[in-house]
Amino acid sequence: MKARVEKNHFKPLDAFRRLGLSGNPFAQRDPWSLVPLLAPAPALVELAAQPWRALSIYGPMGSGKTTAALQVASLLGEQENTRVWRVPEGMIRWPDLDTPVLVVDEVQRLGAARVERLMTRARCERLILVGLVDGLAGTRWHERVYSPSPMTAAEAQVWAGSMIQAVAVAPNPPRLNDADAESLVRAAEGNRLRATELGYAYFEWLVTLPEAAEQTFTGFLRTLPTRP
């Protein structure tokens, strides 16, 4: 059985206000903040050591693609010289692409023809394409391809610690122990976006509890409806 959060009851901003915060603290975090805290997958370490110009990182929403791309840039020693460009919907003009390392997020919005143009237009030493599908598929470019693995319990510990730190200014910041982190991974089925949704719902649940109630994440999961 899977834990389910009813989306019509999911109001994270209301929860943050009850926690004494004016907005979403996670939306304000530096996207690089998790990079030094997470050990890169061995496959990423191997990729960073190889000669390539283009790397395609793809997978479903919440699979950790963007974090993996930033980890590669860090492994290359180019964090300070990396530009992240998120392709907008209905893109009509190209931005300045002159940078040592260029991370192109939401690359599926470009399509194969524009990726071909990007490969010849971008003045960069390393090009990392991030999207729901393999950004190099259907092109004449055959470079490196990587798809992240599901979230692990060890990563969940780091992720949870980062979330807790983000709301640490609240009167009663949430807490996750080792068992909670493992429960989070199982409930989210290894998906980082799902884990974030559960985290939001957990924070909202916490602020409605009496002080004497059980406040663990595992206790929170027991309150959720389940689905087959």
Tell whether 99 and 183 lie within a shared domain.
no
User: Does the model's pTM come out above 0.85?
Assistant: no
Residue 34 included in any domain: no
3-state secondary structure the chain: CEECCCHHHCCHHHHHHHCCCCCCCCCCCCCCCCHHHCCCCHHHHHHHCCCCCEEEEECCCCCCHHHHHHHHHHHCCCHHHEEEEECCCCCCCCCCCECCEEEEECHHHCHHHHHHHHHHHCECCEEEEEECCCCCCCCCCCCEEECCCCCCHHHHHHHHHHHHHHCCCCCCCCCCCHHHHHHHHHHHCCCHHHHHHHHHHHHHHHCCCCCCCCCCHHHHHHCCCEEC
List per-residue pLDDT tens for the chain, 228 residues long: 445 444 434 455 666 666 666 666 666 667 788 888 888 999 999 999 998 999 999 999 888 999 999 999 999 998 888 999 999 988 778 888 889 999 999 999 998 889 998 888 888 889 999 999 998 888 888 788 899 888 888 888 887 777 666 665 555 555 677 888 888 888 888 898 888 788 777 777 776 666 656 667 777 888 876 655
Q: Which of 146, 180, 199 is the last residue of a domain?
A: 146
Domain that holds residue 20: 2-28+150-227
Last residue of a domain, one of 146, 165, 189: 146
Check whether residue 113 and residue 156 sit in a common domain: no
Q: What are phi and psi of 226, to 5 degrees?
A: -115, 160
Does any domain span residue 162?
A: yes
Q: Which of 101, 125, 146 corresponds to the end of one domain?
A: 146
Residue 216 domain-assigned (yes or no) = yes
Whether 61 and 135 map to the same domain: the answer is yes
Query: What are 189's two structure tokens?
Result: 């089925």
Q: Residue 37: CB partners within 8 Å, gap ≥ 6?
A: 158, 161, 162
Domain membership of residue 35 (yes or no) is: no
**Residue 178, strand partner residues:** none
User: For residue 54, what is the domain's CATH number?
Assistant: 3.40.50.300
Residue with tokens 């004449």: 140
- What is the pLDDT at residue 46? 93
Indicate if 183 and 170 belong to the same structural domain: yes
Q: Check residue 34 and give its pLDDT.
A: 80
Distance CA 187, CA 181 (A): 10
- Structurally, the chain folds into a number of domains equal to 2
What six digits make up the tokens of 79? 């964090």
